[in-house]
A and B are shown apart, each in its own frame.
Chain A
Amino acid sequence: DQQVKQNSPSLSVQEGRISILNCDYTNSMFDYFLWYKKYPAEGPTFLISISSIKDKNEDGRFTVFLNKSAKHLSLHIVPSQPGDSAVYFCAAKGTGTASKLTFGTGTRLQVTL
């Protein structure tokens, strides 16, 4: 049972344009969401997060939007740069001090020149 879903395995975007990566979740007990970026042969690197009490969090070129009623979040990258090419994982944590992250299967973003 996939509790966190990233339905697009890959995405190609031109440099300078907006990249939008989507994530859906099914567990209503999730209350904290994170995006990680992963380059080949490296571990995931934390990018940005959002608490369920917010609907938007922004950090430079990266913005995460959360729609709790739809159990959907998205990561916007504006403008996209070639160095953004990587696999992006959406992850979620449960209520309280729950420890483990539940990850989606990832979306491979390629930013072309």
Chain B
Amino acid sequence: GAGVSQSPRYKVAKRGQDVALRCDPISGHVSLFWYQQALGQGPEFLTYFQNEAQLDKSGLPSDRFFAERPEGSVSTLKIQRTQQEDSAVYLCASSLANRVGETQYFGPGTRLLVL
């Protein structure tokens, strides 16, 4: 079956530009996560949805970052007025439910470069 897909795979933005990153989770997966991975680092949690409800946004680095999942399926991570420090790979993951033993399945990521 289809895994988690993300688009675009690569995005180059000029500083100050707004960007929108899309995530299509595995069909039927209730939980959806966004992570940011800087070069040479491990992924860092940004935000979490259970269906359409955003239950945790503690990892969003600033109010320029906004995520939504209006129908409980596709999610969009929006970054306003991008800065150079926003350059990273943005990973989306989904899981069937939010249980301790539930595996998170990751998409290929969107590599964002802010010039």
Contact = CB atoms under 8 A, between A and B. Distances in A.
A98 B77 CA distance: 21
Contacts of B42: 4, 6, 89, 91, 103-106
Contact of B41 (A36, A102, A105): A105
Interface residues of B, number: 28
Contacts of A45: 106
The 4 tightest CB contacts between A and B, nearest first, are A103-B42, A43-B106, A100-B45, A99-B48
Interface of A: 4, 6, 31-32, 34, 36, 41-46, 49, 51, 89, 91, 93, 96-106
Interface of B: 4, 31, 33, 35, 40-45, 48, 50, 55-56, 59, 91, 93, 98-101, 103-109
